[in-house]
Structure formats: C-alpha cells, structure tokens
Amino acid sequence: LEIVFLLVLILRTWLRWKSLAGHFSKKGWNLCLSFLLGLATLDCIVGIFNIKGIIPGNFRLARLCRPLIFMCCYKNLREAVARVCSSIPKFMNVLASLAITLLLFTWVGIILFTSRGGPDDEGQKHFHSWGEAMASMWILFTTANNPDVWLPAYHKNRWSFLFFVVYLMLSLYLLNNVLLATVYDSYKEQLKVSLKLFFKNR
C-alpha cells in the first residue's frame, strides 16, 4: 500500500515536471522531493525482499521520509514548520524540563528494577541498559506501551505502580500540556508577525 502512495506522488511530480516544462525548478524543494521519493521507494522495494530494509534493524527509511515528502509537496506546510522552528527558543525550557524528567526517571527506574531476576523480570525486560530504559520510558510518555511496561514490576510488588503513575502525572499530564500551550502561544505570535509582514509588503 505504501508503494502505491509513493507511486502516486512520483506520478504527481512527473506530471508537474511535464506540464510546467521549463518553469519547473530542478533544484531546492523539487530536488529534495525527488531524492526522498526515490529513497523511500527503494527502501520499500528492498523491504519486500528483505524485512530489515536498507538499514539493518527495525529502522525503516521510508517511515522517516513520509513527513519530509509531504513538507516538500506543500508550501503552506513548509511555512507552518518554519514558524514552529522559529518559535523553538521560546519553549526550550519546557523541552529541557521534559528531558530532565525523562533522564531522572530512567535513572531511578534502573536503580529500582535492575536485578538478577528471570527473563520476565522488569529489570531484564525494560531496564537492563540505559538505551532500553530510556526507550521504554519515552514510549510510556506516548502511552503506547502502557500498562505493559510496568506490569512485570507490578506483579512482583504492588507499590511499584507509584513510580510509573508519578512519572505519567509529571510528564504526560503536566509537562506535555505546558509544552502544548507554550508551542501554541509561540506559534500564534510568529503567525501574527508573519501576517503583519505580509500586509506591510502588499
């Protein structure tokens, strides 16, 4: 299915190139789009014959290319991304707070749950290394692995759920909402500035 959508986008790019002829720019965003479409298609074709794709492991280049392809296709999306990027300094403190919370709870989780238990033990499944622990805590922040990530510890000691509940309360329900509000306010300010410039230059 992904290859079909990529072929539709390739057809769209080819039709634009044919219809615009000499006015079609072969550099900048169009060149980037062509490169990304080629890379994503190659990764999908390799993935048909080899599950791992171009890069060994579970990482697939086509997944990384999807948002970039759409950003290359639509000017309004590029402008919105530029406004969000220019407002990043205004919410860096909230991002830093989120990163510190993640690191702190990862560290505490490694101390609490790393043990010489069996393969079903919490420490062995989710906290056996810094990388694995940080990945588990980040995915828990998105709630994709909730409650799977804390069930082994919960079966061993019922009070261990407090660790995960406090983490979710701080990161998901507090910092995530503060981050969303800050991003929205910063984006709104950038939009006002760009609109003022637009009407000034008319």
Q: Measure the CA–CA gap between 12 and 107, rounded to whole angstroms.
A: 49
Return the half-sphere exposure (C-beta side, CA atoms, 13 A cut-off) of residue 114: 12
User: Residue 152, Cβ neighbours under 10 Å: how many?
Assistant: 21
Q: How far apart are the first and last CA of the chain?
A: 44
Radius of gyration of the chain from its Cα atoms, rounded to whole angstroms: 23
Q: pLDDT tens track of the chain, all 202 residues?
A: 777 888 888 888 888 777 777 666 666 787 888 888 888 888 888 777 766 555 665 567 777 888 888 888 888 888 888 888 888 888 888 889 989 999 999 898 888 877 655 555 655 677 778 888 888 888 888 888 787 787 777 778 788 888 888 988 998 899 889 988 988 888 888 888 888 887 887 7
> What's the pLDDT score for residue 169?
92
Q: Measure the CA–CA gap between 82 and 3, rounded to whole angstroms.
A: 29
